[in-house]
Structure formats: structure tokens, C-alpha cells
């Protein structure tokens, strides 16, 4: 079985990593040629930011 993933955003990449850990084959398809930053730095507020607790 090969899982086809549309989009290499954090959702698609996370799913790919999870499938990899489970030993399940997958392919990620991304619409854009080049992944570029959008907006500013990602921010992670407490309680999910380990540095903030």
C-alpha cells in the first residue's frame, strides 16, 4: 500500500513522517516548485513551547 499525500505543508510532512515510522509507503505531491517562508517566524505560545514553561 502506498499513501498519496497532497501538499507538503506541516500537515502533509507530519503525516509522511508518521507513515514512515509505521513502515507504510507514501508519496507527497506538492503543487509549488519551491517551498518558501510565508509571513514571519513561526510562533508557538505556552503551553506548547517548552522554553516558555
Ligand X SMILES: Cc1cc2nc3c(=O)[nH]c(=O)nc-3n(C[C@H](O)[C@H](O)[C@H](O)COP(=O)(O)OP(=O)(O)OC[C@H]3O[C@@H](n4cnc5c(N)ncnc54)[C@H](O)[C@@H]3O)c2cc1C
CB of 28 to ligand X, least distance (A): 8
Is 48 a residue that touches ligand X (CB under 6 A)? no
CA distances from 23 to 3, 12, 16, 40 (A): 11, 16, 10, 35
Residues of span 9-38 touching ligand X by CB under 6 A:
9-12, 29-32, 38
Distance CA 53, CA 46 (A): 7
Nearer to ligand X, 12 or 19 (CB): 12
Residue from 2, 4, 6, 46 in contact with ligand X (CB under 6 A):
6
CB-based contact 1:24 (threshold 8 Å): yes
Amino acid at each position: 500500500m502506498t499513501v498519496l499525500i497532497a501538499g507538503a505543508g506541516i500537515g502533509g510532512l507530519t503525516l509522511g513522517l508518521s507513515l514512515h515510522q509505521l513502515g507504510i509507503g507514501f508519496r507527497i505531491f506538492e503543487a509549488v516548485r519551491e517551498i518558501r517562508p510565508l509571513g514571519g517566524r513561526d510562533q508557538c505560545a505556552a503551553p506548547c513551547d517548552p522554553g516558555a514553561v
